[in-house]
Amino acid sequence: MNRCLGGLGLAARSASTLPGVRWDEFAAAVPELAALGEERLRGRELCLVGTIRRNGWPRISPVEPEFVDGELMLGMMWRSPKALDLLRDPRLVVHSVVSTRLGNEGDFKLYGQAAPVEAADRRERYRKTVKARIDWEPEEPNYHVFAVDVDSAGFVTFAEGNRYGLAWNPEGGLRRWEQRES
């Protein structure tokens, strides 16, 4: 799956006609933004995942993200509401955990689509990654695991003296803004 990624040699695409990119493809296209995201997702070992409920209302749930063989993966309890949401509608937002009201640690979010991981070898690598991190692993087949394809992503920080944001999508590439202090 070698796709050209926008702005940095990124071919224009419509989000509705071409699927998102794997985490490693995203990281190759925009390493600064991907590094900020991975740092925040790994650092807290927790993220918030937004899904769409059957009735159309949003749902937000905590999930432990894992990086497995160049993919961002999310594991979920068997038949949990968030997993059922993603099986019905794969669109999601992944947001890093923010722990202060000041916004000085920065927050990362990505919009994408979740694909169920069904291949036994990929599920085994996911389980081994979890086991290495927390000395526990989910039992087959009683859990869901999804691989996230990235459609767009962003980062913002309001740290004093260093207020800036990054946003990326395949059509526009990477954009940066800075906020001057008054």
Q: What's the token pair of residue 103?
A: 């916004």
- pTM for the predicted model, two decimal places: 0.88
Interatomic CA distance for residues 47 and 40, integer angstroms: 9
**CATH architecture assigned to 23-178:** Roll (2.30)
- Count of H helices and E strands in the chain? 4, 9
Interatomic CA distance for residues 70 and 125, integer angstroms: 11
Interatomic CA distance for residues 165 and 156, integer angstroms: 4
Tell me the domain boundaries of the chain.
Answer: 23-178
> Mean pLDDT by 10-residue block, N- to C-terminus, for the chain (182 residues)?
38 48 97 98 97 98 98 98 98 95 92 98 98 97 97 94 93 91 62
Q: What pLDDT, on a 0 to 100 scale, did the predictor assign at position 180?
A: 72
Q: What pLDDT, on a 0 to 100 scale, did the predictor assign at position 78?
A: 97
Q: What are the distances in angstroms from CA 129 to CA 25, 44, 72, 145, 159?
A: 20, 16, 12, 12, 33
Cβ count near 110 (within 10 Å): 27
**For residue 97, which phi and psi values (nearest 5 degrees)?**
-75, 135
